[in-house]
Homo-oligomer: A and B are copies of this chain.
Amino acid sequence: DPEELGKWSFYRAIIAEFIATLLFLYITVLTVIGYNSQNSTDQCGGVATLLFLYITVLTVIGYNSQNSTDQCGGVGILGIAWAFGGMIFVLVYCTAGISGGHINPAVTFGLFLARKVSLVRAIMYIVAQCLGAICGCGLVKSFQKAYYVQYGGGANKLNDGYSTGTGLGAEIIGTFILVYTVFAATDPKRNARDSHVPVLAPLPIGFAVFMVHLATIPVTGTGINPARSFGAAVIYGHHKAWNDQWIFWVGPFIGAAIAAFYHQFILRAGAVKALGSFRSNA
């Protein structure tokens, strides 16, 4: 749709995606990093704790170091998962009417495959999301200078003890859950039939993000959002974050494609119509 390039609502949607992704990264990375800094003075563990830091998940590591003497001072993994899930709920709620509330290149890609978003719009959204993510992480770095690099910058990477295949699988299934929920929540056929669908829509999307973070933070720190992984890697700049970066683009895009296929061909009976060979009265 080349004509949509001349409309204000198109640029407005891109600005909304940029600001929403910026706010998303600002709040979540600040949650991950912020608690490290405040307790850095009472790190007893010293070198051993710091070595351990680079073994386990970066996000979780932050909390370990902080907890060396003061175990429950931080928000914990549950708090990190709430920060990610809750921000997605608030931002999807706020921007759904402006841009669709993607805030995630994998969601944009899934909706593009299902022909709900044009190619131009999809590319522009993904660019705006990546720029928003970089700015959001940059804000956190400027607020938490000393501790940002020390505590891993909220970047995603494959943790020790997990193979590339496991990390990729975890990202694929996690993104599948998210994008499938997005499809279920925005399906116009369901909106007309099930009264809970249009009303609650942003809530299960936020909860899906919350759940996937609870389950896969130990494996990869949970990407399922290439813009989030890319923005953190750009600002953090550590080679490990860049070596594993491809996992956080390939995995989510494969997961989004499977979710689009599952929704369009299995659940929406698109396959049946295409084949025209099965008694269907769906």
Please give the residue numbers on chain A whose beta carbons come within 8 Å of chain B beta carbons, in ascending order. 6-9, 12, 15-16, 19, 23, 26-28, 30-31, 34-35, 37-39, 41-42, 52, 55-57, 60, 63-64, 67, 70-79, 81-83, 86-87, 89-90, 93-98, 139, 142-143, 146, 159, 161-162, 166, 169-170, 173, 176-177, 180-181, 184-185, 190-191, 193-204, 207-208, 210-212, 214-219, 262, 266-267, 269, 272, 278-282
Distance in angstroms from A109 CB to nearest chain B CB is 19
Question: A77 CA to B71 CA in the complex, in Å?
Answer: 12
Q: Which of B35, B89, B143, B199 contacts A199 (CB 8 A)?
A: B199
Please determine whether A266 and B12 come into contact, CB atoms closer than 8 angstroms.
yes
Question: A94 CA to B83 CA in the complex, in Å?
Answer: 23
Known: A8-B272, A72-B76, A219-B143. A161 touches B37 (CB 8 A): yes
Give the interface centre of A78, A214, A279 by most chain B CB atoms within 10 Å.
A214
Q: Whose C-beta in chain B lies nearest to the C-beta of A161?
A: B37
Known: A15-B266, A77-B75, A184-B93. A27 touches B177 (CB 8 A): yes
Please determine whether A8 and B207 come into contact, CB atoms closer than 8 angstroms.
no
Summarize A's interface: helix, strand, loop or mixed. Answer: helix
Please determine whether B38 and A97 come into contact, CB atoms closer than 8 angstroms.
no
Distance in angstroms from A251 CB to nearest chain B CB is 13
Please determine whether A216 and B78 come into contact, CB atoms closer than 8 angstroms.
no
Please determine whether A196 and B96 come into contact, CB atoms closer than 8 angstroms.
yes
- Name 13 A/B residue pairs within 8 A (Cβ), A-sorted: A7-B282, A8-B279, A12-B267, A34-B217, A34-B219, A38-B56, A42-B52, A78-B79, A90-B207, A94-B180, A96-B194, A139-B169, A143-B162
Please determine whether B42 and A211 come into contact, CB atoms closer than 8 angstroms.
no
Please determine whether A8 and B269 come into contact, CB atoms closer than 8 angstroms.
yes
Further 14 A-B residue pairs, CB within 8 A, beyond A74-B77, A79-B81: A8-B279, A12-B266, A26-B215, A27-B211, A34-B217, A71-B72, A72-B72, A75-B81, A86-B207, A93-B184, A97-B197, A196-B198, A196-B202, A200-B200
Please determine whether A193 and B57 come into contact, CB atoms closer than 8 angstroms.
no
Question: A79 CA to B6 CA in the complex, in Å?
Answer: 48
Please determine whether B282 and A204 come into contact, CB atoms closer than 8 angstroms.
no
Known: A77-B74, A79-B214. A93 touches B143 (CB 8 A): no
Q: Which of B7, B87, B93, B279 contacts A211 (CB 8 A)?
A: B87
Return chain B residues, CB-CB under 8 Å to A78: 75-76, 78-79, 82
